[in-house]
Amino acid sequence: MSIFQIDRVSGLSLAEFNRHFVEPGLPVVLKDATKDWPAISKWTREYLESQAGVVSVKLRSIDPRKAADHTRFEEMTLRSYLQQVDLTKPDDPILAELPLKSVFPQLLSDIGSFPYSAGSADSLSIMVSSNSRAPLHYHTFTEAISHQITGFRRFLLFPPNETSKLDPRPPTGPLPNFGRRVFREDEAERAPERIFDAKLSPGEALYIPRHWWHTVFASGNLSVLLVHFFEYKHSACPHNEVTCRIELLRRATIEAISTYQSAFESSSTFEERCFYFQRLSPLFKVARDEDMENRFLSKAAEVFPQFSEERIRIEARLVELNAKPR
């Protein structure tokens, strides 16, 4: 058993943060990440209810141990959820990773600056829960900074090269970045893996490097977390157990794209084209090949009627792709 407390720092410049933690891929607690955020003092249960209580939210619970039906959904108003959140059990559906801008735009003004990234309030995802447990997982392409707003959360992080010990799901199946192993909070001290541990209080944030496995435990009272996901161009590409899994996923995705493209091109009805287009769109995000996506979308735009929902989406994405420097 090796359990390490994650370093806690403050007063870093963005350049120092990137050099000492992001570039080498090391977790760190940022004690002053939200020093000018009004949300830290304002976001009580009563305040959230008064500002956004009538908003309908989708709750989600993922059980990666199950091959099918691994996700449960419920929908209710934020007020109803907040009134019962203290009664939830660790694996009950919770409010998880909803985009703050589109779900709770009335709360955006409570967010301050981002000293450790180029983020903004528009780029945050919100998580609200009590007595919850996030399943073991890693972020495939992004870094993350998790900002604790209300309540407490404990994070247990595992380096990428502990992957084989964590019973990961198959790299080319559903939920490839999740582990089937379920950690209880009380087993950290006797687990055989190397574990990096941090408990966040309101006003603190945790930098989670790309490819680091983590599971998260929310306190028994209301806990609100805001997460900023971002991509950082590392000077050297990491090579570890997770990058090997991602390469397997990328190859399988490219094969799937080829199969769906052929089916799309041979489709004879609008419904068939829509069916295959809907399956192709998310695959390009995994393949990370924008030239291939650009070629496909340029052809697909010609077969969908002008002003159709699909044509509008295609044209918007083509503008985005062609605006990027080559």
Is 269 found in the same domain as 132? no
Give the residue among 14, 311, 40, 44 at the shortest CA–CA distance from 202: 40
Where is the domain boundary, 230, 251, 285? 230
Evaluate whether residue 84 is within a structural domain: yes
- Give 281-319 pLDDT, tens digit per residue: 999 999 999 999 999 999 999 989 888 989 999 999 999
Q: How many other CB atoms are there within 10 angstroms of residue 71's CB atom?
A: 14
Q: Which residues face 229 on adjacent strands?
A: 144
Evaluate whether residue 20 is within a structural domain: yes
DSSP 3-state assignment of 121?
Answer: helix
Evaluate whether residue 235 is within a structural domain: no
Is 176 found in the same domain as 111? yes
Looking at the chain, how many residues does it have?
A: 326
Range of the domain at 317: 241-323
Give the pLDDT of residue 72.
82
Give the pLDDT of residue 37.
98
Evaluate whether residue 236 is within a structural domain: no
Where is the domain boundary, 189, 204, 230? 230
Give the pLDDT of residue 248.
95
Helix (H) or strand (E) holding 271, with range, is helix 270-287
Give the pLDDT of residue 280.
93
CB 128 within 8 A of CB 94: yes
Non-local CB neighbours of 35 within 8 Å, separated by 6+ positions: 112, 115, 203
* Residue numbers in the chain where pLDDT is lower than 70: 1, 67-70, 325-326
- According to DSSP, residue 178 is labeled B
Evaluate whether residue 15 is within a structural domain: yes
Q: How many domains does the chain have?
A: 2
- Give 210-252 pLDDT, tens digit per residue: 999 999 999 989 999 999 999 999 998 888 999 999 999 999 9
Give the pLDDT of residue 69.
56
d(CA 290, CA 244): 21
* Amino acid code (one letter) for 221: N
Non-local CB neighbours of 40 within 8 Å, separated by 6+ positions: 34, 149, 202, 203
Compute φ and ψ for 8, nearest 5 degrees. -120, 125
d(CA 231, CA 12): 20
Evaluate whether residue 256 is within a structural domain: yes
Give the pLDDT of residue 68.
54
Give the residue among 36, 48, 44, 39 at the shortest CA–CA distance from 104: 48
Is 256 found in the same domain as 165? no
Give the pLDDT of residue 1.
56
